[in-house]
Amino acid sequence: MIRMGDRPGIARAIDSLGGQGAKLYLAFALKQIRKLKEEEAPPGTAISELIEIYDDLIESAEKRAAWDPDPACTHVHFVAGDSFAGLMKAALKQLNWKGTHKLIILPDNYAIGPLGELDSYEGRKARRDWFQDHISEDCEVFDDSDEEYKQLLDRVSKIPHQAKAIVWTSRNACERIGMLHAVRLMSGRPNGLAVYDTCQICEELINSPDVTHRFKYSGGDSGKPSADGTCPYGR
């Protein structure tokens, strides 16, 4: 529980953490405190490490919050995955649109696992259980899936009525299903909605009679054109 007397930046940083993220930060902080208590390292070193944790946590929360929908935004972009999100942020900054164009990132890997009834606790639990049974390295991460979904719904609820929602997709299962999920999240809202296929847009921009480029992923790795004049882009 965040007390009223806490600084807004600290409260926002704590609220932005999922359970696993909070555990990692707490473990690291306790490690430095133990060093101070047991004099395992010079006080200055441990204190510097604690300050670094603080700066990292506050800065990360502020950077994330800067891209959340706000009352002044005119467009909200839905993107699947952190990789494409980073490219989208860079593009919006370059266009000087950061103040009016905001981002909602769909971090889930929609290409695998059960997808039924993701808007219900039972559906999300079934998906989390599947990952715990089949993808062992993601077990701890998916412990936070329900909290992440609540944060996603909170961001969607902050989209002002005048803002246009733009959903980006491409030719792979993760982004296609992410697009469907985004459209589902926006159903019943008064906002304008548009869906753009990054693969199609890029191909229309750069293809020529001599070379045909094929894309599969938004922001995927590129390759050289093959002997038959085609260039398969993607991972």
- The full length of the chain comes to 235
Closest of 171, 184, 179 to residue 195, by C-alpha: 179
Assess whether pLDDT exceeds 50 at residue 22.
yes
pTM: 0.69
**pLDDT one-digit tens code per residue, 161-183:** 999 999 999 989 999 999 999 99
Residue 125: the pLDDT is 87
pLDDT band at 230 (very low <50, low <70, confident <90, very high): very low
**pLDDT one-digit tens code per residue, 109-162:** 898 889 988 888 899 888 888 888 887 554 444 556 677 888 899 999 999 999
Q: What is the mean pLDDT of the chain?
A: 78
**pLDDT one-digit tens code per residue, 199-227:** 888 888 888 888 888 888 786 544 344 43
Strands (E), 51-115: 75-80, 101-106
Q: Which of 41-55, 59-73, 129-143 has the lowest mean pLDDT?
A: 129-143
Fold type of domain 68-201: Rossmann fold (3.40.50)
In the chain, where are the structural domains located?
8-65, 68-201
Integer Cα distance of 170 and 177 in angstroms? 10
DSSP string for 162-212: TPEEEEEE-SSHHHHHHHHHHHHHHTT--S-EEEEEHHHHHHHHH--SS-E
Residue 191: the pLDDT is 96
Residue 1: the pLDDT is 41
* Contact call for residues 212 and 222 (beta carbons, < 8 A): no
